[in-house]
């Protein structure tokens, strides 16, 4: 065989090439790829290693990293250091879950389908919304898909308003998704760390399809979600709300302030940080939009013997049925991460989620008070916050992080990437895992930089 991982014999390859009118596989690509872009070099890979040698090599590389096990983490900005019960991994890594793929054959996949159905049920309960899909890749992808849903629901409109307080990566993804569409993406400025409602009132109009709000926002500040929802709906637009699932242990869920679409990054629900995160997109909406939902939907059905079972439902939305006319190209995606989130939510329960939220809020307040006691004007935004907030520093925030790392702390996320004026701003986060001693020590480390 030409490639041992592609099970085509030389005779089969010859037959396929004849059907293509080509003499070789290389000719197929050379006819399509200009010569200046063709890769004609070797990869320069080292000789093959034994399993033991690979373990040593990768172990040595991994040892050069720092992680939140050996370094106290005050990092946030979308990926968080929350506690994950050991039972999550023990259950999720059972072989019947690890090996399961998209359950196209329901009669052979009832366990997997029920797990997805429970995931959908838990997420809709947490968000107080009507419908949840069976997961997306991450929170940013969920935003991109929600924009398509909003534009489909308002086909005569072509403007999307996005608050400046939405995560910058999500805003960048939104711009990428809409780049080749005749849609105007307008950023609504922030004032004092939250969406400027006066600017929003001025920007919203009869061409607005949706308003995108993050609550709590990228700076950790709490938004006037009910007021934004009112403004959006008065203009006939949809409200797309991005939330922190942990915050819903304390704050009103999106359904209570009438969000049309509610999405989130689900990494905080039992997933690990892993150099940027095991991610999970949560996507929920009102029932009226169910036929525009991206990705899988699992429902309950009965077989010919009147036995209850679980099946993929409303599949005419999907790419394996309608190809180019599908609502999205979302396929299997992060189903195993959704399983971990399902197990996490079942283990935590309502009381556990409230406890994590309260402890995160309590630790954030303690850290904020400790910083204010050393530098009264160090807090950048006075708005109420949840889990994270922005600190002004005398030094560039990147330098503050470097110094803190020398003291065994991940200080937070430097905000210089937001543009001029943010070079000396640091986003710090305190989850339920932080102890009083860690918070006090960290504030002492920050003090000379404030």
For the segment 327-337, the average pLDDT, to the nearest whole number, is 84
For the segment 211-234, the average pLDDT, to the nearest whole number, is 99
**pLDDT for the residue numbered 46:** 86
**pLDDT for the residue numbered 264:** 99
CATH 1.10.10.10 describes domain 72-83+350-449: no
Residue 4 has pLDDT above 80, yes or no: no
pLDDT, tens only, 40-52: 777 888 899 999 9
Nearest-angstrom CA–CA distance, 275 and 65? 9
**Please, which pLDDT band fits residue 320 given cuts at 50, 70 and 90?**
confident
For the segment 338-360, the average pLDDT, to the nearest whole number, is 98
For the segment 341-352, the average pLDDT, to the nearest whole number, is 98
- Choose between 107 and 191: higher pLDDT: 191
**Please, which pLDDT band fits residue 322 given cuts at 50, 70 and 90?**
confident
pLDDT, tens only, 259-303: 999 999 999 999 999 887 899 999 999 999 999 999 999 999 998
The CATH number of domain 86-343, selected from 2.60.40.10, 1.10.240.10, 3.60.10.10, 3.40.640.10: 3.40.640.10
**pLDDT for the residue numbered 100:** 64
**pLDDT for the residue numbered 354:** 98
For the segment 413-438, the average pLDDT, to the nearest whole number, is 98
Average pLDDT, the chain: 94
For the segment 322-330, the average pLDDT, to the nearest whole number, is 82
**pLDDT for the residue numbered 2:** 60
Nearest-angstrom CA–CA distance, 241 and 254? 7
- Choose between 5 and 253: higher pLDDT: 253
Query: What's the predicted TM-score (pTM) here?
Result: 0.90
In sequence order, the 6+-apart residues with CB closer than 8 A to the CB of 149 are 261, 285, 289, 292, 293, 294, 327
In sequence order, the 6+-apart residues with CB closer than 8 A to the CB of 157 are 151, 206, 207, 208, 209, 237
Task: Render the burial of 152-166: b for 16+ CB within 10 Å, e for the rest.
Answer: ebbeebebbbbbbbb
- List the chain domain ranges: 72-83+350-449, 86-343
Instruction: Report whether 296 contacts 312 (CB < 8 A).
Output: yes
């Amino acid at each position: 065989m030409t490639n041992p991982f592609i099970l085509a014999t030389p005779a089969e390859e010859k037959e396929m090439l004849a059907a293509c009118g080509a003499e070789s596989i290389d000719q197929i690509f050379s006819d399509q790829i200009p010569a200046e872009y063709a890769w004609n070099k070797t990869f320069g890979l080292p000789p093959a290693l034994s399993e033991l040698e690979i373990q040593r090599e990768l172990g040595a590389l991994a040892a050069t990293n720092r992680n939140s096990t050996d370094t106290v983490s005050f990092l946030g900005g979308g990926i968080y250091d929350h506690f994950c019960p050991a039972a999550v991994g023990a259950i999720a890594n059972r072989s019947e879950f690890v090996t399961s793929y998209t359950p196209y054959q329901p009669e052979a996949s009832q366990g997997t389908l029920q797990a997805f159905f429970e995931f959908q049920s838990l997420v809709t309960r947490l968000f107080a919304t009507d419908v949840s899909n069976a997961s997306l890749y991450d929170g940013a992808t969920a935003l991109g898909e929600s924009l398509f849903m909003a534009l489909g629901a308002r086909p005569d409109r072509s403007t999307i308003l996005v608050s400046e307080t939405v995560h910058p990566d999500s805003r960048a993804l939104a711009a990428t998704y809409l780049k080749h569409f005749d849609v105007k993406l307008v950023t609504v400025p922030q004032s004092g760390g939250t969406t400027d409602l006066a600017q929003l009132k001025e920007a919203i109009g009869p061409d607005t399809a949706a308003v995108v709000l993050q609550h709590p926002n990228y700076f950790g500040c709490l938004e006037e979600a009910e007021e934004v929802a009112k403004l959006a709906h008065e203009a006939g637009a949809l409200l797309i709300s991005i939330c922190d699932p942990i915050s819903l242990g304390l704050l009103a869920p999106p359904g209570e302030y009438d969000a049309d679409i509610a999405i989130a990054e689900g990494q905080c629900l039992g997933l690990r940080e892993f150099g940027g995160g095991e991610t999970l997109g949560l996507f929920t909406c009102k029932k009226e939009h169910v036929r525009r939902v991206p990705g899988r939907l699992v429902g309950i059905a009965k077989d010919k013997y009147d036995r209850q079972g679980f099946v993929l439902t409303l599949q005419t939305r999907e790419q394996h049925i309608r190809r180019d006319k599908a609502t999205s190209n979302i396929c299997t995606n992060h189903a195993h991460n959704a399983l971990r989130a399902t197990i996490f939510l079942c283990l935590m329960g309502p009381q556990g989620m409230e406890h994590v939220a309260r402890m995160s809020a309590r630790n954030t307040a303690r850290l904020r008070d400790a910083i204010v006691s050393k530098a009264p004007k160090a807090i950048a935004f006075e708005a109420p916050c949840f889990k994270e907030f922005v600190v002004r520093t005398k030094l560039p925030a990147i330098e503050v992080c470097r110094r803190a790392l020398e003291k065994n702390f991940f200080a937070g996320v430097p905000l210089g990437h937001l543009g001029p004026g943010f070079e000396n701003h640091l986003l710090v986060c305190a989850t339920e895992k932080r102890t009083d001693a860690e918070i006090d020590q960290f504030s002492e480390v920050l003090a000379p930089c404030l």
